[in-house]
Amino acid sequence: MANEVFNLTHPFEYRGASYVEFKPRRPKVRDLRNFIKNVDKDGVGAMEKVLADLCEVDDKVIAEIDIEDFAPMKAWFEGFLKPMLSGSDE
């Protein structure tokens, strides 16, 4: 998974800044650790937090993303989780 750019179908403004795209960095183990720590408390909140960290924005910005634009970002992050969840106990 190369560096991803998410061009928003529904750009928005939040606190005087315009958001038309997000360029997240690739996740690191610390991002995974923080996500796992928070996912049991609030699944959506954990996803907002990890995407905010990866995009280097406040998680309140991620909360303002249209759900149509949020879905591919969520799927992108989950793509990093799939190899770790499959076949490790076989």
With pLDDT > 70 as the criterion, what percentage of the chain qualifies?
91
pLDDT at residue 83, rounded to an integer: 80
Rounded to the nearest integer, the mean pLDDT of the chain is: 91
Does 3 score more than 50 pLDDT? yes
With pLDDT > 90 as the criterion, what percentage of the chain qualifies?
74
Question: From residue 67, how far is each of 3, 6, 84 by CA, in Å?
Answer: 22, 13, 26
Does 49 score more than 90 pLDDT? yes
Reading phi first (left if > 0) and then psi (alpha if -120 to 50, else beta), residue 42 is in beta
Domain definitions of the chain by residue range:
6-85
Mean pLDDT for the stretch of residues 23-47: 92
Q: What is the DSSP letter of 86?
A: S
Question: pTM of the prediction?
Answer: 0.87
Does 68 score more than 90 pLDDT? yes
